[in-house]
Each structure stands twice: as C-alpha cells, then as structure tokens.
Structure 1
Amino acid sequence: MVHNAPAIPAAGENIWRFSPFKTGISRQKSMTFRFKKQDEEIIMTESQGELFDMFGLKQENVLQKRIEDIFPQEMAVFKREVYERALNGESLTYESKLNGIPFLAAIGPIYKDGAVSEVYGFCVDLSERVQVETQLAESEQRFRSLMDHNIDALFSLDLDGKFTTVNKACTELTGYSETELLNMTFDPLMMPERKSIAIDQFNDALKGKSKMHETRIRQKNGEIRQITFTLTPIIVLHKIHGVFGIAKDVTAKREAEKELRETKDLLESVIYHSSDAISVVHLTNYSVKVNPAFELIYGWSQSELNSGLSSHMLPIVPHDKAAESERLMTIVKHGGYVKGVETIRLTKSGKRLNVSLSLSPIYGENGDVVALSAISRDITEKKLKEKALKESEEKYRIIAENTTDLIGVVDLQGDVKYFSPSNRLLLGFDPSIYDGKKIQGFFHSDDRPKVKFAINEMVQTLKPVKFEVRCKHAHGHWVTLEANATPIINDLGQPESCVVVARDLTERKQTEEMLRKSDKLSVLGQLAAGVAHEIRNPLTSIRGFLQLLQSKASEDKDYYEIMLSEIDRINSIVGEFMLLAKPQAMNFTKTDLRDLLRHVISILDTQAILMNVQIYFESEPDLPEIWCVDNQIKQVFVNMLKNAIEAMPTGGSVHIHLRKQENYVIASFIDHGCGIPEERLATLGEPFYTTKEKGTGLGLMICYKIVENHHGKILIDSKIDEGTTFSIMLPIHKNKPVSQ
C-alpha cells in the first residue's frame, strides 16, 4: 500500500509529491541504497547505480554518513520522516528532485529476526516522463491560448451537436455565456428557415467534408448577425468524435460591401449623367474611359480614343497647351491634385473651348498611381459673359469714379460695401473711413429715424425711395444730401442691399433760402413803398400837436414823453422800411475801419456805461483801408455793437477785434451774453425775426443787405450761456471803383 507524506521546501514550493504510480517502473537510469538507524541517527550504508553518479554523489561522501550530512536540509527533514515510517514497517514511494534531476523512489523495511533492521530503497530517473508531461502541458496551454485569444469564434461540438468547448469570442458572437453554451446545441442559434440546411452542413462535417459556409444566426438578445463558418471533423484513432468549428462575424463587412456597391452604383450613375466631361486614362496600357458628356462636348467616342491612343495625353489637348498639360499630369502622377485650372481644349472638329479642368490620381492595390481622372467643364459661354460683365463694370466704374454724385452700396445692416471717390469731394472723407463702421453713425441724429423709415419702405415694397439726410463733413459741419436708394434683389427675391445715389443739396438749399428771403424783401419793399409815405405824414402832424400840447400842459408831462418816444420809434421803423424800399446810392470811398469803429464806440459809449458794459477795442497794426460806403458800414457797426450791449442786461464786456485775413478785413463783435440757440442761427437776418422782446428783426436784416452789397459776409458763432460772436468780413479791393 502506498502512503503519501507531505514536505515543505525552503523556497516555499511543493517539490515533494508521492508518486501516483504503484507499478510499471520503466527501464531507466536507476540506483539502489540502504539506510539504518544508529543511535537515533539514520545512516546510509549502501548506494550504487548510474543515477548515483548523475546526482553528483560519491561513495566516500555518503556511506556511513547521516542523512543531514548528505542531503540539503529540507530534503533531509523529508527523508528522515519517510525513513522513520519505513523503519516502522511501511513501504512508500515518492517523487522528488535532486540536483535538477527528477526521480521516483520506492523504500521498504528489511526485517531480521522479526524486526526492521534496515530500510532498502531504489530510485529511477523520471526526466523523460517529466519532459513528456511538460510538452503535453505546453500543448494544452497553446491550445487554450489559441482558444482564448483568437478573435474568431472557436468551438467544438459532439456527435449530437452539443457544444463541448467555446472560447470568449464565441460567447461574444452569440451573446450566451460559456456555461449556457456548454449546456445547449447549436439549434437555438439558427434561423428557422436555415435549421435544416445547418443540420445538413453539420452531418457533412461528420462525414469528413470540411467546407466554409455563410449564414445568419440569432443572438441571445434577438439581434441577427451574418457569419461565415468552417466545420472540420474531430478524428481520434481513426474515429470521428465530433466537429471543430471556426466562425467569423461578417455583419459589418457585408454592410460595408453593400454600401460600397451602392456607392459604386451611385458614382457610376453620377459619372454617366454628369454634364461635365469625365475621362479616366490608365497609365499602363493607356486605355480610356469617358462618359457621354465627354463624347458630346468633344466629339470623340470612347472606341475612337482607345483605338489610336499611345500616351496618356488625349487628342483634346492643343499643341500650345501640351507643356502645360504635361506639367499638370506630372503633379497628379506624384499623388497631387489639380483643381479648377482654366485652360483650352479642342473638339474633334478643331473648335477651341475654354474649360475648367480638375485632375485626380487613382491608386492601385499597392498604393501606386495607376490611372488619371480628368473632369473638364465647358466655360466658354461663362468667359464671354465675364468679359461682357467686365466691360460693363469698367464703364460703370468710370462713371462712378468720375461723377460728382455720391454712389454707394450698403447692405440692410448699414455696412458699407462700396463708396465712390466723390465721397472726398462731397464729405471730405476717403471712402476707406467707412470700413468696419455703420453708415448710420455718419447721419445727423435727428435724420436717422427718417432714413430708417425710408429703408423699411424700400424693403417692403422692393421699390426705390428718396429721402433727405444730413451727413457729417470731415470739417465738422453738416452737408444736406438728397439720396435715392434702390434695392438689390437676390436669387430668392429678397433685398440684400441697396445702391444709394446722393447729391449735395447745400447749394440748392442756399439758393432756395436766398429766393425765399428775396421774396420777403420784395414784399417788404412793396409794403414800404406803399405805406411809408401814408404813415409819415400823419406821424408828423401827431408829433407836432403833441409837442404843442406838451408845452401847454402843467401835469402828466411823462405821458407826453412816452407818446413822443413811441412816435419816434414808429418813425424809425418807417425809416428802415424806406431804406429797404428805395435803392441807395453806393458811393464807395477808401475808408479806415479803425477810425470808423472808434467813432461808433464813442457814439454808444454812454449807453454802455448806463448798462454797466465795458467796451474793449483791439486792432492789428498796419491794417489796409478798404473801399466801402462809410455811412452804411457805420450803420452795420452801430447795429452790431448795440446788439452786443443789449445782449448783457446785467452788465459785462464787449470785445471788438479788427484783423486782416487774406483779402478781407474782419471786424468781430464778441459779447458774453446768454447766447443764441443753434436752431435759430439760420433764421437770423430774416425780416420780423428777432430775439429781443421789442425788436423787429429789420436792423439785422438791413445789416445783412448792406454787407451783401459790399460783397462781404456775416459769420455768427454762438454758445448758450457763453456768448455770441458776430464777424463782419469785408473785401479790401473788390469794391474799388473802376475809375480809381
């Protein structure tokens, strides 16, 4: 009977194990040995055989030696235990390894006089068996690795079609776990309409017919997968034990192939029905494929091209474009692409066509360029239209760049797309100033709602609109423009921008204003001519009698003074009427304005003192004399200084500056009164318009007329709560009489 005894090696691994073999020791290298117990020590008394030498043992080192002196400590401990059991009458076998040699040992007791006197044993070399076992284990590991790591589903079936082995890929393909598969046949995987075919395929494999098949299976979750599989019989000792199978999921591949076929069909349909000429030239045999559009445009059929072509250059390339064509072909042969090159091609009849050419390489299986694809589009008509459009654009460009009107293109958001150079003339800006800015920002704030309303009307009606708008000039003043906006309609019938043609209305506005004022003056003159004499005669009588009554009155004399003052005021107004009504004699004399102003200041100095106003006069030295009617200019200066004094009822200062500027002498009257609102400046000088409580507006109107008759100008600059400056510009030489 065999008994097993465990042992623990120093390295922590089980290097000792009792042999499962009870008999059948083969003829291998072996040795015999004997041990006995002496004074509680186990001593080797005999040892011989080939295996003894293979262990590297020597007689003198082992005979009569203790176990502990012969073997390593761990083995010695194990052997003492085993030999103790043998000395107690047991027979044992065990396997171990010494100096790298595996062996099988058998020991048993030797009896003498009914008692165990020694232990006898022998051992044989197990190297051959261990090698066979190792090879078998490695083979099993390789098989298991092949099963576990193969991306294809591997399985085996017994004769009843039941799974006996499956790998991980098989569980992933079917959706069933390994346990579930090993407890089922292949039947649940089959589609109902394919089951009979699957059984026939399985039976053919059992008959030794190995073949690849393709079918559909149903996964555990019900999803359908397309697979290919091969069944091979498992034959052991000339007997079939089952079937081994390899399956591959080709669902994605089949879908890709289907998509590829559809893409191919679509591509062929696009090429066949394309209106562009398409050709493919193979670089090896120079065979050509062309679509119907190619044959229609160039007049060459595919068969004609294939019958006489000896290079990749088709007969549609004219001689003067051969070098260009060769250069483009070289680019494509090296894997490059050519897109939208405009060139010339010939028809079979010799007609030259403008075409847009695109070239692409076609690659073979090895990644080499095997053919060239060419797509050409006839753009002859397009070129003619472009030429005509360019000529038309050039004409309009010349008109736009040379017209005095402002021409611009603006989108509906206000972004400027174009402005003509006349913008510099009208507004003083270079057109580039509008880049990245909204055109609305250059409009007067009061005019923006009006412009927005007009543009909205244009968008809704799709018709041109006209409006007036004030635009800022580079010098800071506002320029009134009359603008016509015409919508630009896109292909959808929607307005996307507008063309604006604007004209400066400033001069026309000034002319209209002058006519308006002239009409007023004409009416006023007629009124003065018809009424002045009728008013002055009664006034003279009334004043005479009032003076007579005043001289006799003893009381209420203040009332007479008031009445006489008011009559004088009426007479003064009538006098101003008469000045407008009848032409004045213009007797121009050379006058020194400095003396004239000093005289005017002396006249109004008393009034200024009474109103607590200081008058300061400054003049440039060496001012030239000017030609003027001194009494009229004196009247203008008196009016200006009087207005400046009256503009400061609580007192202040008036500064009078006299200076020369180019061909003018300028007299400026500067007060520090309440100022005049900007919107009222334009109406100053009109009859009956005044800022005074008891004014008539005639005085300033007469001043304007006198200065205008002297070919001069009146400039006004006023700021609220800061004061007003009236500047009288009088020419130096312009009024010089011809005889002088």
Structure 2
Amino acid sequence: MTTSIPILPNIIENLGSGIIIIDKSDNITFINSIAEKLLGLKSKDVLFKPTNHIFSEKIILDILSSVKKTEEALNYKIAITKPKRRNLTLNVAPIFDSSEKYNGTVIMLINSFREKPIKFQLLKQNQKATIGTLTSWVAHEVRNPLTSMNLHLDLLKEEINENSQNTSKEIVELIETLEQEVERLNNNLNEFLNFGVISSSKKKLYNLNEVVKSIIELVQPEAEMARVDVVLKLDESIPKILIDVAQMRLMILNLIKNSIQAMPDGGKLEIKTEKKNNKVNLKIKDNGFGIPKEDLKNIFDFLYTKKKDGTGLGLTISKKIVKEHEGDIFAKSQVNKGSIFTVSLPII
C-alpha cells in the first residue's frame, strides 16, 4: 500500500516566498502563510473573494490585469504600505489548463529586504533535500504514467494503421496531437529531472571542440528547418580540459536550442571557442529577438521564464553545470539584435 505524501503544500510553504493563486474570475483560491504575514491578513478572511480584498495598490491590480490579458509573466519591484511599508518583488505568471487556455494567475511575493537579488530560491538549508525529494517523487509519479501513455499510443497507432480505410482524418490528427503533447511533457520532465540529479563526478580530460561538434550534428536538422545558418569558429589549439562530457553536452545543447528558438524567422548562429587567460571560452552568438534589459539579470534564476511553453529550468541547469566545473557563464543581449552567451572554463 502506497502512502500519499502531501509534498506540494510543503514545497509551497518552504519556498520562502508568499504564494497567492487566483482563478480566471479574479477570485483568491489559495494563499500560503508567508503571504499572510507579508500582507497582514488571514486566509479565512480572503479566500474566494476578489483580489482587491488583499491589494489596494492600483499598480498591482494593473499588473494582474495585464498578465491576464497578455498571458505573459511579469516581474516588478513594488512598495506596499499595509500592514506596514515593505519593498517587495512581485512575480506574476499565468496558469493554463490542459487545453492551454488561461485558467488563472499565480503570484509570488518576495520580501526584497531579506532576499538575495531576485532569486526564485528555496530556503537555503532545505534546498538540496527538497529538490531531491521532489525529483524522486516526480520521477515515480509522472514518469511511470507517461511511459504507459506512450505504450498505449503506439498500440492505438498500430490499430489505426491496420484499419486505415475506416479511420477518419480527424482521429489521425487527434493521435498526432496526443503524441506531440506527450513528447512535450516528456521533454519538460527530462529538464526537471536533469536539474535534480546534476553531478560532475565523471570528469575526464576532453576537448571542448569535440563536444561542440557532436552537438552540431544533433541539432543541424533543427537549425536547417528553422532556416538558421550555423557557423563554427573553433580554435583547434585549445587544450583538453577536465569536464563531465555528458553534462557539458547538456549545457551546450540548452544554449544552442535557446539561440535557435530566438530566431523564429531564421538567422545566424555563431559558435566560437578560444583560449584566454588560462581559460577555455565558449561563445554562442545569435541575431535573434534579444532579451530585454530588465529580464537579462533574471534569466538564470530557478523557474524564471517568459516563454509560454518554457519550464524556467534550461538556463538554470546550464549555470549549475558550469558552476560544477568551477566556471562562469554570463550573457549580453540587445533587443532585436541578438544575444551572446559566454561560458568560461578553467584549464587544469
């Protein structure tokens, strides 16, 4: 007999931030204890009531209205005066149902006086344990049904192929949509699980150029479909460095995919390696839509994303991998001109 663990409420409480969830009618459906303390109220007094019962500041109501209208996340620093004056970081993101229709909004309130610069962070002393527990739970409770769904979809496709003359076009399209959604969920799940298990204990001396070349072989078809020209400027004289090859592949793949996705109308992707000041540097440059200045400082933060289908984990994972290798990663970007991601790794 399996005992169900109420893990989600525990994690929401341990985030160290105020969490409020409102439905599509702008009524409050959830508020955690930290939000209660920050706003000086009790959940029993505000649950299932309109948001103006907890927020009197017009700017906050305008932000909530904007997120609902545009279905895009927003991040602001605000000041509230009740129950006392506080500076808060307000992160607001839309919630979508299984049909990808707007279904509500989640609000995260971070006490700016206590926070380290805008981080979606778990309480430091509990972070590794909480993520490890959550990863194990997700791996079991989500991976298993997902595998089952894949198997049943394969069986259903076989049945349809055997009776293709009696199968309508609509049914075939529905099966294809299901396959795409299962694949998307599987990709998101893999990204989350990668975040929980990253470890660079399998390091060996290896040439970074070889890692880059292997990744290019993998993404070349995707780049061609996106009409993105890939240009390699690899310094063949760079020395081997101590890396976990599998994790380095994952990091570079994340960065390259991000760059390709930033060029929906096609463009140029330049990948460069060089030796500089006892470091091997990797630069990934695109001429895509760029990142706004106000978002650039947050892009490596846990769960931070402006993509509708994003998880907010890809760049967090990339940074974690680089830090495991005692390296640095940073980004420069200009809106409508493109971005440059630079990874700097030590030569041992």
Q: Which residue of 1 aligns with 2:135?
A: 528
Against the structure 1 CA distance between its residues 709 and 518, is the aligned structure 2 distance closer, same or farther, given a 3 Å change threshold?
farther
Provide closer, same or farther for how the CA distance between residues 650 and 584 of structure 1 changes in structure 2, counting only shifts above 3 A: same
Tell me the distance in 2 between the aligned counterparts of 1:580 and 1:655: 27
Deviations 1:126-182 (A, max 9, x none): xxxxxxxxxxxxxxxxxxxxxxxxxxxxxxxxxxxxxxxxxxxxxxxxxxxxxxxxx
Check whether the contact 2:271–2:283 (CA below 8 A) recurs between aligned residues.
yes
Q: Distance in 1 between matches of 2:276 and 2:182?
A: 43
TM-aligned CA deviation for residue 514 of structure 1 = 9.2
SS in 2 for 1:540: helix
Q: Which residue of 2 aligns with 1:671?
A: 286
Where does 1:52-451 land on structure 2 (aligned, <5 Å)?
A: none
Aligned residues: 229
In the alignment, does 2:222 pair up with 1:615? no
Deviations 1:387-407 (A, max 9, x none): xxxxxxxxxxxxxxxxxxxxx
The equivalent of 2:215 in structure 1 is 600
How far residue 566 of structure 1 moved from its aligned partner, in angstroms, is 1.4
- Which residue pairs with 2:203 in the alignment? 588
Counterpart among 540, 551, 564 of residue 147 in structure 2:
540
Query: 1:639 aligns to what SS in structure 2?
Result: helix
Where 1:683 maps in the other structure, the secondary structure is: coil
Contact kept in structure 2, 1:532 and 1:577, CA below 8 Å: no
Residue aligned with 1:716, SS: strand
C-alpha change, 1:667 and 1:537, in structure 2 (3 Å) is same
SS at match of 2:121: helix
Aligned to 2:335: 720
Do residues 574 (structure 1) and 181 (structure 2) align?
no
The answer on 1:645 being equivalent to 2:249 is no
Q: Residue type matched to 1:559 in 2?
A: L
Select the structure that is richer in strand: 1
Q: Hey, what's the Cα distance between the residues in 2 that align with 1:532 and 1:731?
A: 34
C-alpha contact 1:524 1:577 (8 A) present in aligned 2: no
1:593–1:625 Cα contact (<8 Å) kept: yes
8 Å contact kept, 2:263–2:289: yes
Distance change in 2, residues 1:710/1:683 (3 Å): same
Distance in structure 2 (CA, Å) of the matches to 1:646 and 1:515: 25
Structure 1 residue 575 displacement after superposition: 2.3
Supply the distance in 1 between the matched residues of 2:270 and 2:172 (Cα, whole angstroms): 39
Task: Decide whether the 8 Å contact of 2:120 with 2:303 is kept in 1.
Answer: no
1:549 corresponds, among 141, 153, 156, to: 156
2:305 maps to 1:690 = yes
Counterpart in the other structure of 1:512: 116
Change (3 A) 1:630 1:612: same
Distance between the aligned counterparts of 1:516 and 1:641, measured in 2? Answer: 24
Write the distance in 2 (CA, Å) between the matches of 1:624 and 1:510.
43
Which residue identity is paired with 1:573?
N
Mapped partners of 2:311, 2:241: distance in 1: 31
- Between 1:530-539 and 1:702-711, the stretch displaced more is 530-539
> Is 1:631 matched up with 2:253?
no
Structure 1 SS opposite 2:290: coil
What is the CA deviation profile of residues 42-65 of structure 1, one whole-angstrom value per residue up to 9, with x for unaligned ones? xxxxxxxxxxxxxxxxxxxxxxxx
Letter in 1 for 2:193: M
Aligned counterparts of 1:703 and 1:560: Cα–Cα separation in 2: 34
Secondary structure, counterpart of 2:344 in structure 1? strand
Alpha-carbon spacing, 1:713–1:583, altered in 2? closer, same or farther (3 Å): closer
Counterpart residue identity of residue 144, structure 2: N
Partners in 1 of 2:281 and 2:253 — Cα distance?
16
Kindly state the Cα deviation for residue 594 of structure 1 after the two structures are TM-superposed. 1.1
**CA positional deviation for 1:525:** 4.0
Q: Distance in 2 between matches of 1:729 and 1:518?
A: 27
Counterpart in 1 of 2:34?
Answer: none
**CA-CA distance at 1:689 after TM superposition:** 1.7
**Kindly tell me: are residues 633 and 573 of structure 1, through their superposed partners in 2, closer, same or farther at Cα, counting changes over 3 Å?**
same
* 1:517 counterpart letter in structure 2: Q
Based on CA coordinates, which of the two structures has the bigger radius of gyration? 1
SS in 1 for 2:133: helix
Distance 1:654 1:696, change over 3 A: same
Question: How many Å apart are 1:623 and its aligned residue?
Answer: 0.8
Higher relative contact order (CA 8 A, sep 6+): 2
**Aligned-partner Cα distance in 2 for 1:583–1:603:** 22
**How much has 1:532 moved relative to structure 2?**
2.4
Give 1:714's aligned amino acid: I
For residues 102-133 of structure 1, give each alpha carbon's deviation from its aligned partner in whole angstroms, at most 9, with x where no partner exists: xxxxxxxxxxxxxxxxxxxxxxxxxxxxxxxx
Are residues 518 and 660 of structure 1, via their aligned partners in 2, closer, same or farther at CA, if it must alter by over 3 Å?
farther
TM-score, normalisation: structure 1 = 0.29
Q: Is the 8 A contact 1:525 1:577 kept in 2?
A: no
SS at match of 2:116: helix
Contact 2:281 2:343 in 1 (8 A): yes
The offset of 1:518, in angstroms, is: 5.2
Task: Give the SS at the match of 1:512.
Answer: coil
Please say if residues 644 and 654 of structure 1, whose CA atoms lie closer than 8 Å, have aligned partners that are also in contact. yes
Q: CA separation in 2, counterparts of 1:568 and 1:680?
A: 28
Unaligned runs of 5+ in 2: 1-78, 80-86, 88-112
Q: Deviations over 1:233-288 (max 9, x none)?
A: xxxxxxxxxxxxxxxxxxxxxxxxxxxxxxxxxxxxxxxxxxxxxxxxxxxxxxxx
